[in-house]
Structure 1
């Protein structure tokens, strides 16, 4: 690839890299693996750049699949030196950082396929149809993986949600 195509690719990478890295991180739970997934996805995109009509959609799909693949590789099962950090970081004044860390830790406990669906549906705000297209799965699979993933996330967060029932017309509430 040379000339204008090379420049377009560089511009795309500059604009999309951080977003793709965030998606990869939320999918695999490790910045190092996220960087590997983004690198692998961008190298595949580079080779196919002239033939791709929607570079971001292609890159997003490739990043998610690469991030899932990174979590399944047996040689990637090493643990980060997180055990050297204190068990509970000091809370921030507004609680936002603590809550984000709690959600990310819980998300890491969700199985990779379900995690990918949750990231695409709620972080990337894709519809069921779009998520199914990105992952190459049926819409029914995306719906069931969303439900199972949310249940796993709630369990990891220890959220005891009781279903909210709306009184039917003519019913009295206690």
Structure 2
């Protein structure tokens, strides 16, 4: 990589790495796993920096696909996703904190594609067409996955309002 490309890449990383990390944390439910995903995706981007037209979409796609691959391997081995989350948090937590914890726990129970659709749609506020491009599927698939995921979340966390906006609480 020449000096100009290295500078551009460094600027991209400085500008976008925290947002990518936040997305990966919500996607994985685990900060360490998220850091690994982002670092791996940025390393792959660095190797192809001059060839990539849309670096952020490229990194998001890598993060999603690497997470989905990890999820499949993990499911095959029946490993636990992370530390057990208590049924109810400590009594001094506010109702909003309880609901966010319940929502995060429930989100971890969704499959990787449904979770990715919700994270990209409500946390990242991306349009359906861009989500479809990142996930390599149709816009109709994005819509159906979002609908099914929200329906499942409402079953898992009955306290949720019937509005999809509640998913936005994940980033707080």
- Tell me by how many angstroms 1:16 deviates: 1.1
Pair 1:31–1:115, CA change in 2 (3 A): same
Asked whether the equivalents of residues 91 and 98 of structure 1 are also in contact (C-alpha less than 8 Å), the reply is no
- Tell me by how many angstroms 1:142 deviates: 1.0
Counterpart Cα distance in 1 of 2:5 and 2:40: 19
Counterpart Cα distance in 2 of 1:82 and 1:144: 30
- For 1:168, the equivalent position in structure 2 comes to none
TM-score (norm 2): 0.80
Q: Deviations over 1:72-93 (max 9, x none)?
A: 223693554447x79523434x
Counterpart Cα distance in 2 of 1:124 and 1:151: 20
Counterpart Cα distance in 2 of 1:76 and 1:64: 20
- For 1:91, the equivalent position in structure 2 comes to 92
Counterpart Cα distance in 2 of 1:90 and 1:162: 26
**Counterparts of residues 17-32 of structure 1 (less than 5 Å):** 17-32=17-32
Q: CA RMSD in A?
A: 2.6
Counterpart Cα distance in 2 of 1:46 and 1:162: 42
Q: SS of the residue aligned with 1:140? A: helix
Q: Deviations over 1:79-125 (max 9, x none)?
A: 54447x79523434x54433322221111111111111111111111
**Counterparts of residues 101-116 of structure 1 (less than 5 Å):** 101-116=101-116
Counterpart Cα distance in 2 of 1:32 and 1:118: 21
- Tell me by how many angstroms 1:52 deviates: 1.1
Q: How many residues align?
A: 161
- The runs of 5 or more residues in structure 2 that have no matched partner are 164-172
Counterpart Cα distance in 2 of 1:21 and 1:162: 28
Please, which moves more after superposition, 99-108 or 145-154?
99-108
TM-score (norm 1): 0.80
Asked whether the equivalents of residues 41 and 63 of structure 2 are also in contact (C-alpha less than 8 Å), the reply is yes
Q: Which has the larger radius of gyration?
A: 1
